Amino acid sequence: MRSLNQPLGGNDMPRFGGPATMMRLPAHESAEGLDACFVGIPLDIGTSNRPGTRLGPRQIRDESRMLRPYNMATGAAPFDHIQVADIGDVPINTFDLKKSVGIIETFYDEILSNRAIPLTLGGDHTLTWPILKAMKKVHGPVALIHVDAHADINEEMFGEKVAHGCPFRRAWEDGCLDNDRVFQIGLRGTGYSRDDFDWGRDRGWTVIQAEECWYKSLAPLMQQVREAVQDRPVYISFDIDSLDPAFAPGTGTVEPGGLSTWQALEIVRGCRDLNIVGCDLVEVSPPYDPTGNTALIGANLLYEMLCVLPNVPQGAK
C-alpha cells in the first residue's frame, strides 16, 4: 500500500512556520506519481483594471496554513485516498502575455500526461484558456462550471484577443467546450449591451445571473447541474469576484450584489460525483485586501474542490 502525503499538522509545527506550500504539503518537482496537484500561475499581465493577481498564488498558499485535512461538513478526507502535492508555479514570461499562454499550455500538457488533476491558484482569468486547450487534447470538449461576476466572452480588449475578459470566447473558438453543458453562475453588474450575457446563451450555455441566486440556497441549482453534466469530463473555473466584495474585496474588478461564501461552498460541494478533470481559483489580488481574508476564502474553496475530486469519498470515517 502506497504512502500518501499529508499536510504538516499544526501540532507538529506552528501554523506560522513550516513550508510555504499549499496546506504545507510536500513540494514535488512535477506531477509524476500524483493523483492531484496544486499549481500556481502568478499572472496579472492579462488584467484590464487593478493589477496584483501575480501575488495571488503566494498569498493563497500562505493563508492555507490554517486548513486541516478533514472536511467536517462533508466527511471527505482527501489525503487518505489520493496522492497530492504542490508542484510550484508555472514559469510565465511576465513581459509577454501571449508567450505566457503558450508556456501555460505546455506546462499543463505535462501535468495531464501524468494523469494528475490540476488545481490551479491564480493569477488572472486569462490562464483558463490555455488550460482548457490542454484539457481538450486529453478529454475532448469539456463541460464547464464557471463561477464569476463576468462572462469573460469579449471578442477583444484594447484590440487584443488575449486578456482576462476573453478566455471563454477563445476556448469556444478552439472547440474546448461542450456547449450543452456550460454553466455560468453569478454574472452581474453593468455592461455594454444584453449580448454581454446573451452571447453564451445563444450558444447553448446556461447563464444564471446573480439576482437569480439572491436569498436562496444553490443546492437545487447544483442538482440540476449534476443531472445535466452526468459523467462528462468537467472543468471548474471559480473567479473570486463572483463573491460579493463584502466577503472578497481583494480582486481587480469588484461588483456589488454577489454570491455569499455559503453559496460558494454549496456550488463547490454540489460538484460531488462529477468527473472533474481540473479546477482553478482565479483573480485573488492581495494588495486590495490587507486582511488576507480574500486569499483565505480562495484557499478554502480550493480545498473544497480537492474534496469533491473523483476517488475522494464523501462521508469518510
Report whether 239 belongs to an annotated binding site: yes
Report whether 196 belongs to an annotated binding site: no
Report whether 241 belongs to an annotated binding site: yes
Q: pTM value?
A: 0.97
Question: Residues 234, 191, 260, CA angle at the centre, nearest 5°?
Answer: 55
Report whether 150 belongs to an annotated binding site: yes
Q: What is the pLDDT of residues 170-180, one digit of tens each?
A: 999 999 999 99
Report whether 81 belongs to an annotated binding site: no
Report whether 125 belongs to an annotated binding site: yes
Q: What is the pLDDT of residues 148-203, one digit of tens each?
A: 999 999 999 999 999 999 999 999 999 999 999 999 999 999 999 999 999 999 99
Domain range list for the chain = 22-308
CATH of domain 22-308: 3.40.800.10
CB atoms within 10 A of CB 162: 18
Answer yes or no: are the C-beta atoms of 41 and 237 closer than 8 Å: no
Answer yes or no: are the C-beta atoms of 37 and 110 closer than 8 Å: no
